[in-house]
Amino acid sequence: MMTRKWLKVGLVLLTLCFLSLWALQLDSWARVGGGGSMGSRGSRSMTPPKPYSAPTAPKPTQPSPGVTPPPQTQPSSFLRGLGGGLLGGLLGGLLFRSLFGPMGGMGGLLDILLLAGIAYLIYYMVTKKRREAAAGAYYQSGGTVEMPPPLQYPPVSDQPRAAPVDADLERGLANIRQFDPSFDEAKFRDRCLDTFFQIQGAWANRDMGPVKNILTDEMFRLLQEDAERLKSKGVINRLENIAVRSVDLTEAWQETGVDFITARIYANLLDYNVDERTGQVLEGSKTEPVKFEEYWTFTRPVGAGAWQLSAINQAPE
């Protein structure tokens, strides 16, 4: 009796787990690939795509230093003290004599003026010698100014600092160009963008037939099966206001006569599921955009053939 009871409980729990997993799988059917990873990346299928590295920000440039003129020479504190002391002593002595000594009146005042003039002359001669000695350090014979050598700085560029070179990516692109000299990285990124919009449009219509030529056989089968599941459940995946922020190449390689290139697609869009009979939103939001980062891998036979989407991977954790 107890055995049957536990068996029933186990069957109920197993059924609930199955239904939960099925519901989660249904909820994950949003945009192409359902937000998961699928397809083949050749020999790199078992490893996650190489994460994208953003270009390094340019460092602030250092302005070139200007030529600093020779500093203005000031009399040393010793000379200023000496001159001030002489002048103060003479004036003090004369004042004392004029006030309390035998000299008085106009005679004492003339003595003060005379000695003050002598003190100023001494001070002037001392400071003049000092200026001439300082000027000799900056002038050579002939009157040429001897300036210190200017500081050397690396040339300043207005261009931002380039991102570090990815040796694996560059080597792979170079190998591709050997067999296809017309290959152009910028045009390839444009082609990735066009393919992205074409496949998203076919997915929203639940029919991958119109884009079969830009999908590998495996990717066409996987995406078409997912689209058929949506159709059988009466669910339509709406994709609106798609804004692709960047398309960046992260990997390129060749193997057994086949080219592979992985591009990182960074975008945001409105992504929600509706009931095709009532139009009611089942999942997602019609107003809150979803930001996502995916890695799309394209392949073709070595040469100048057409590229096909062979895998979609989510951003590495």
Residues 126 and 235 placed together within one structural domain of the fold: no
Q: Which residues contact residue 136 at a Cβ distance below 8 angstroms, ignoring those fewer than 6 apart?
A: none
300/297 Cα distance (integer angstroms): 11
Q: Which of 59-63, 126-130, 178-182, 284-288 has the lowest mean pLDDT?
A: 59-63
Looking at the structure of the chain, the number of domains it has is 2
The answer to whether residue 107 is domain-embedded is yes
Residue 50 lies inside a defined structural domain of this protein: no
Domain that residue 95 falls in: 77-135
Name the more confident of 233 and 120.
233
Task: Please report, as a single letter, which amino acid is at residue 91.
Answer: L
111 lies in the same domain as 179: no
Confidence at 244, pLDDT banded by 50, 70, 90: very high
- CATH code for position 213: 3.10.450.240
Contact 160, 154 (CB under 8 A): no
Q: Are residues 107 and 184 in the same domain?
A: no
Say whether both 127 and 187 belong to one domain.
Answer: no
Which carries the bigger pLDDT value, residue 130 or residue 199? 199
- Whether 160 is covered by a domain: the verdict is no
**Does 82 reside within a domain?**
yes
Q: Are residues 257 and 192 in the same domain?
A: yes
Query: Rg (Cα) of the chain, in Å, rounded?
Result: 43
pTM over the 0.85 mark: no
Task: Examine residue 254 and state whether it is found in any structural domain, yes or no.
Answer: yes
Decide if 238 is inside a domain. Answer: yes
Q: What is the pLDDT of residues 31-44, one digit of tens each?
A: 787 678 999 999 99
Up-side HSE of residue 67: CA atoms within 13 Å toward CB?
7
From residue 116, alpha-carbon distances to 79, 98, 106, 113 in Å are 17, 14, 15, 5
252 plus 110 within the same structural domain: no
Q: Are residues 192 and 295 in the same domain?
A: yes
